[in-house]
């Protein structure tokens, strides 16, 4: 069977039954391939058509190679432009980001793909679905509007206000360009766009079922909709809405799993149902991805007798954010006063996220040191040089561990099948903490701290108190760091910095760093904090908070206008 991806979107984490068997129906772009009569001949085939709207959850996956943390401060690309991975060219030379193009962030094409298809589906439900009953139609329309809201959020976080092309925004229904008036539509403001997105999600939350029967487990539920509201309301500064939605998710039974590391182990997914709210699941040897091939440490190539790539590796900024297991801050200035090495006594999320010199991995010890009077470590360290690559070796002293499949040797021949965690309850708790803090910190400080501390307690870190966070700014500093440690490597950091309007401060005219480790002849180590951008400065200008619209949109849509300063 081809294309047997499973969209396990709800907490049940069960595949959508039959999704693969109707791939041709799901991929139709018009009724030229399959007639409306064929698609709507039965409730099951009609449902598969509706389910196609969930394809948007694949659009920006970590395991699919969309490593947005590399555009921020958490990951460093080890190559300049190999395999079309242009991270360094973008952050150091702004390659591809210009007037008329958002470069790797460009997604305006979602209008003609995801949004148009979903709009057609919505109209078809009204046109053909009545024979299945009003309740059936209401639920399916809620699904389509849920999926469209997620797609519009993708657009809004890149461009700000966008053109709202809905099933009812055209002259005679859908604005698909059939009529001249439908081509020329004005952009909504950013505020109006987020209101539309949140209204759509609220409609979905109110009309989606609590759960699905077994054969359709995996489709959107009320819990999923409320969880996404808790996330996206932060972008809109709708703090009360975000907090309320997070509380709803808790009421619906979400909870953290005991072991953080288990969340990223493919074969333990079924045990993580209480925390994992939205996930794209893959199938061993069938529908897979290449994350292990792209991200494993160099010496793992011996497993498959092939060169590894280590596409992106953690920066020192990422690694140094993790506390000691007793909750004290890590610092290179004094770590050796009470610890035998900089890594062993760090908190559990560090060990679950990052492979470091001395880490246990695949029955061996990771070695990223440079030898002084002795051979280099087996996983090597290669200094990054401008416009070149490191040949798959780390240039920061670290490799990623999160999402890798330890103990699985067939990742090159058969592909990896680690699931993509789209949304989990730990994020909802951090969303709630931020929402309460921003709503009114003096009145809600304890609620904000309680939500944050629930995440910390899972990894046995001490609670943060009002002494640690007496005011909003001190709390937000703690929360921002907590999001790095809990969600790092999961594509949050770049977008978090943008919505906090901190990208200029954190990224612009800055270098990222690594830890060069030298093993001396006597077996001791020397640690050096080094620049990993070859002396070049990263760039994030004020105008980058809202990228330029495509040239075609400005040319063809007479009412379109570009974002400022482009």
For 456, the token pair is: 């910390």
CA distances from 378 to 92, 147, 363 (A): 30, 46, 14
Longest alpha-carbon distance in the chain: 80
Query: Is the separation of the CB atoms in 512 and 315 below 8 Å?
Result: yes
pLDDT at 83: 65
Phi, psi of 252 (to 5 degrees): -85, 10
The answer to whether 104 and 96 are in contact (CB under 8 A) is: yes
- Residue burial 31-47, b: 16+ Cβ < 10 Å; e: rest: eeebeeeebbeeeeebb
What is the number of other CB atoms lying within 10 angstroms of the CB of residue 331? 11
The label of the residue with tokens 């005219």 reads 509
Spatial CA neighbour of 222 closest among 151, 153, 150, 142: 142
List the chain pLDDT tens, one digit each, 566 residues.
333 334 333 322 223 323 332 333 333 333 344 578 889 999 999 999 999 999 898 888 999 878 999 999 999 999 998 766 789 999 999 999 999 999 999 999 999 889 999 999 999 999 999 999 999 999 999 999 999 999 999 999 999 999 999 998 887 778 877 788 888 999 999 999 999 999 999 999 999 999 988 777 678 999 999 999 999 999 999 999 999 999 999 999 999 999 999 999 999 988 999 999 998 989 998 899 999 999 999 899 887 777 777 999 999 999 999 999 999 999 999 999 999 999 999 999 999 999 999 999 999 999 999 999 899 999 999 999 999 999 889 999 999 999 999 999 999 999 999 999 999 999 999 999 999 999 999 999 999 999 999 999 999 999 999 999 999 999 999 999 999 999 999 999 999 999 999 999 999 999 999 999 999 999 999 999 999 999 999 999 999 999 999 999 999 999 999 999 99
Position 527 scores a pLDDT of: 97
For the packed helices 222-235 and 239-251, what is the interaxial angle rounded to 10 degrees? 160
Total residue length of the chain: 566
State the Cα–Cα distance between residues 345 and 462, nearest whole angstrom. Answer: 15
Distance between CA atoms of residues 404 and 135, nearest Å: 42
DSSP notation for 404-438: --TT---HHHH-B-PPEEEEEHHHHHHHHHHHHHH
- Determine the Cα angle at 27 with ends 43 and 83, to 5°: 145
- ∠ CA 103-107-109, nearest 5°, is 120
Assess contact for 62 and 423: CB atoms under 8 A: no
Instruction: Count Cβ atoms below 10 Å from residue 565 Cβ, excluding itself.
Output: 11
CB of 293 closer than 8 Å to CB of 411:
yes
pLDDT at 27: 35
DSSP states of 292-361: HHHHS-GGGHHHHTS-----EEE-HHHHTTSPBTTSPPP-TTTGGGT-SSSSTTB-HHHHHHEE-TT-EE
Contact (CB, 8 A) for 207 and 195: no
Are the C-beta atoms of 369 and 298 separated by less than 8 Å?
no
Residue-level pLDDT at 385: 94
Question: Residue 258 in contact with residue 426, Cβ under 8 Å?
Answer: no
Residue 84 tokens read as 């079309």
- Report d(CA 299, CA 159) in Å as an integer: 42
Q: Token pair of 91, please?
A: 């952050």
- Spatial separation of the C-alpha atoms in residues 232 and 226, rounded to whole Å: 10
Rounded to whole angstroms, how far apart are CA atoms 308 and 28?
A: 38
**CA 453 – CA 455 distance, rounded (Å):** 5
* 3-class DSSP state of 85: coil
Whether 232 contacts 198, CB under 8 Å: yes
């Amino acid at each position: 069977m081809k294309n047997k991806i499973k969209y396990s979107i709800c907490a049940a984490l069960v595949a959508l039954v039959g999704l693969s068997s109707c791939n041709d129906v799901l991929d139709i772009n018009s009724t030229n391939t399959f007639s409306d009569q064929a698609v709507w001949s039965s409730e099951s085939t009609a449902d598969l058509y509706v389910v196609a709207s969930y394809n948007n959850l694949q659009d920006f996956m970590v395991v699919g190679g969309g490593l947005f943390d590399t555009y921020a401060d958490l990951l460093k690309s080890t190559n300049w432009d190999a395999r079309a991975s242009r991270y360094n060219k973008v952050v150091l030379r702004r390659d591809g980001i210009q007037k008329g193009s958002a470069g790797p962030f460009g997604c305006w094409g979602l209008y003609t793909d995801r949004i148009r298809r979903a709009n057609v589906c919505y109209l078809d439900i009204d046109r053909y679905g009545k024979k299945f009953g009003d309740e059936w139609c209401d639920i399916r329309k809620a699904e389509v509007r849920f999926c469209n809201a997620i797609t519009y959020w993708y657009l809004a976080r890149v461009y700000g206000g966008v053109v709202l092309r809905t099933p009812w925004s055209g002259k005679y229904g859908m604005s698909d360009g059939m009529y001249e008036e439908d081509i020329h539509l004005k952009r909504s403001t950013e505020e109006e766009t987020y209101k539309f997105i949140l209204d759509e999600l609220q409609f979905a939350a109110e009309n989606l079922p609590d759960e699905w029967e077994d054969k359709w487990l995996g489709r959107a539920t009320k819990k999923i909709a409320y969880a996404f509201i808790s996330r996206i309301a932060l972008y809109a500064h709708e703090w009360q809405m975000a907090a309320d939605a997070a509380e709803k998710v808790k009421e619906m039974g979400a909870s953290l799993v005991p072991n953080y590391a288990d969340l990223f182990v493919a074969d333990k997914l079924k045990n993580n149902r209480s925390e994992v709210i939205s996930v794209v699941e893959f199938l061993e040897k069938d529908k897979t991805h290449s994350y292990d091939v792209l991200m494993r440490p160099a010496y793992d190539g011996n497993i498959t007798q092939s060169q590894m790539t280590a596409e992106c590796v953690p920066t020192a900024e990422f690694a140094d954010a993790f506390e000691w297991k007793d909750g004290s801050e890590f610092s290179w200035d004094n770590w050796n006063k009470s610890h035998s090495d900089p890594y062993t006594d760090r908190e559990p999320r560090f060990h679950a996220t990052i492979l470091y010199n001395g880490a246990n991995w695949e029955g061996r010890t990771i070695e990223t040191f440079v030898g002084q009077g002795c051979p280099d470590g087996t996983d090597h360290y290669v200094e990054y040089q401008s416009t070149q690559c490191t040949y798959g070796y780390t240039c920061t002293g670290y490799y990623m561990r999160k999402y890798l499949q330890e103990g699985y040797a067939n990742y090159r021949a058969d592909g990896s099948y680690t699931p993509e965690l789209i949304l989990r309850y730990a994020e909802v708790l951090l969303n709630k903490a931020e929402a309460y803090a921003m709503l009114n910190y003096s009145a809600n400080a304890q609620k904000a701290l309680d939500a944050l501390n629930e995440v910390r307690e899972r990894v046995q870190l001490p609670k943060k108190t009002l002494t640690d966070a007496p005011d909003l700014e001190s709390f937000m500093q703690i929360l921002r760091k907590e999001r790095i440690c809990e969600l790092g490597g999961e594509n949050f950091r770049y977008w978090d910095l943008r919505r906090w309007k901190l990208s200029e401060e954190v990224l612009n005219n800055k270098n990222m760093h690594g830890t060069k480790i030298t093993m001396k002849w006597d077996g001791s180590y020397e640690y050096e904090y080094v620049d990993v951008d070859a002396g070049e400065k990263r760039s994030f200008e004020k105008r980058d908070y809202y990228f330029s619209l495509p040239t075609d949109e400005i040319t063809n849509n007479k009412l379109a206008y570009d974002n400022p300063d482009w």
